[in-house]
Amino acid sequence: MPSRLATLIAFAFLTLIVVGCAHTEEETSIAPLAPAAGRVDPGLGPGTRALSSGPGYKGSPSWSPGGVRIAFSVDGYVVDRPAHSGESRRWTTRDFVARDIEWTSDDTLAVLGKVHSSGRKAPGSLYKASAGENPLQLERVARGVMAIGPDGEGLIYAFGKDHRRSGLALMDNGRNVYRLYENAIEGRVAALSLSPDGDEAVLAVRPPGAARVSELRTFDLQKREGREIARLGGEREVLGTPQWTQQGIYFVAGKEDTSLDDDGAEPLYDLYRVPPEGGKPKAAPGVGEGFVAASISVSPEADRLAIVGRLNPKSPANLYVLDPRAGDLEAVTSNEDMEIKTGPDDLDWSPDGEGVAIVARGTPSAEPEVRADPADRILRDFYNLYEIPVEALR
């Protein structure tokens, strides 16, 4: 009887792991649990703080402008919670799948996504969600939106005009578009962000008829002029959102590599820098030969770059901070026990520049396990948000 009970417990735990960590468009109805309040040792270094806990495939962390709350996706739907302690709050319904989340004020979210029943290939829409008595009531702002990014006064977003051109729009903290640029960009915008002064946007673009996002363009929001600053050749493509620092524009790019026989095909991406005035992209100084970049995020002062990457293709992913001015790369985490998620939008700086939110989980086991640990120590096996302190690296 004891052995049969142990088998049942192992099976139940394995089933919970699979349900909690699988990412499908069919989001589950399991709500996130309350954060573990520091009881879980994440193995990510001293001072690390859990920002979420429980089952669910989490991603797209986004700090509120005041740093009081953090929003993120769980199996497609959107939740947020206080940064230190308190209950989670749900913003979208079960049939909604979010692609990106940005705050436009401390009580208003902009969500790029779609209703699941609309089909996988349906273009996304931009929605506004406000905290209040009924936060599940979304208000559609625009259709056919391809990318969004924070603006000091609200939001900038790119929308498709046709198969060959894209437009840009600036939206205030409500839902009012106060500046519109129709047919501004030749090609389809995949990602965008603003310069440190907010006067220009840098865009990752798929040129007309191209299969890959292979072009970087800038657009002057005052002069209403855009220009190409870099074009990638061969099979290389841009991954994620280019980041505009005080020392130039950084972006991650590469191609699928098929030479790794033991693990099969694995994407190998490098970090590049290009001057704002344009020119040939060059390998970012300071990261070292063999470094594999996955996702990047610029600090609020645009003077540091957070990078999730690997020192070489065989090493574990960790969080690093690059000082573009000095060309110095410092490891913030140095663990082999946690699997850090490497999605292009799975990290975000806190507004005060003293921490970076990442998504990670314990290295999963291939075998069923029976543990006597308390439940809050088992939660590390699910993808969850953690704040990693970086203020000492200033």
Share of the chain above pLDDT 70, in %: 78
Decide if pLDDT at 254 tops 70: yes
- Output 362 or 56, whichever has higher pLDDT: 56
What is the predicted pLDDT for the residue at 174? 74
Residue reference for tokens 């790029």: 112
- Output 163 or 20, whichever has higher pLDDT: 163
Decide if pLDDT at 36 tops 60: no
What is the predicted pLDDT for the residue at 29? 31
d(CA 255, CA 316): 20
What is the predicted pLDDT for the residue at 23? 40
Decide if pLDDT at 85 tops 50: yes
Decide if pLDDT at 263 tops 70: no
- Output 220 or 268, whichever has higher pLDDT: 220
Question: Which residue ranges form the domains of the chain, and what is each CATH number?
Answer: 2-243+355-393 (2.120.10)
What is the predicted pLDDT for the residue at 278? 86
Q: Is 247 exposed, middle or buried (0-12, 13-18, 19+ CB in 10 A)?
A: buried
Q: For 270-292, what is the mean pLDDT?
A: 91
Share of the chain above pLDDT 90, in %: 56
Q: For 23-46, what is the mean pLDDT?
A: 47
d(CA 138, CA 132): 12
Mean of pLDDT over the chain: 82
Decide if pLDDT at 132 tops 80: no
- Output 95 or 134, whichever has higher pLDDT: 95
Residue-wise pLDDT tens digits, 165-212: 999 999 998 778 999 999 899 999 999 999 999 999 999 999 999 999
What is the predicted pLDDT for the residue at 25? 39
Decide if pLDDT at 115 tops 90: no
What is the predicted pLDDT for the residue at 372? 52
Banded pLDDT at 233 (limits 50, 70, 90):
confident
What is the predicted pLDDT for the residue at 74? 93
What is the predicted pLDDT for the residue at 202? 97
Global pTM? Answer: 0.83
Q: For 105-118, what is the mean pLDDT?
A: 84
Decide if pLDDT at 81 tops 90: yes
Q: For 290-301, what is the mean pLDDT?
A: 95
Banded pLDDT at 364 (limits 50, 70, 90):
low
Residues 384 and 361 sit within 8 Å (Cβ to Cβ): yes
Lowest pLDDT segment from 281-285, 316-320, 355-359, 369-373: 369-373
Banded pLDDT at 163 (limits 50, 70, 90):
confident
Q: For 371-377, what is the mean pLDDT?
A: 50
Select the highest-mean-pLDDT range: 9-13, 83-87, 271-275: 271-275
Residues 346 and 60 sit within 8 Å (Cβ to Cβ): yes
